[in-house]
Amino acid sequence: MSLPSSANQPQPVAQKPGTNIYTVMLILAFCFIVTSTVILAMELNQFGAYPQWKVPAGGGS
């Protein structure tokens, strides 16, 4: 008795998994982090050039 030929059998089509809630949450988190970084940079630019915490010396009483 011979084994059945595997060449005649159709290959099953693998279906790509759909987008789940964790993928959506990951995308939203990335968008929020990028948005908050841009807003933080805009806020820091209001206080002068980098580094904003270095204050020029002198001029005291």
Per-residue pLDDT tens digits for 27-38: 999 999 999 999
The confidence band for 5, taking pLDDT boundaries of 50, 70 and 90, is low
Top pLDDT among 16 and 50 is at 16
Give the DSSP letter of residue 57.
P
Q: Which two tokens stand for residue 61?
A: 């009483």
pTM value is: 0.57
What per-residue confidence (pLDDT) applies to 38?
97
Cβ atoms of 52 and 44 within 8 Å: the answer is yes
Question: What is the DSSP track for 2-37?
Answer: PPPPSSSSPPPPPPPPPP-HHHHHHHHHHHHHHHHH
pLDDT tier, 25 (very low <50, low <70, confident <90, very high otherwise): very high
Question: How far is it, in rounded angstroms, from Cα 22 to Cα 28?
Answer: 10
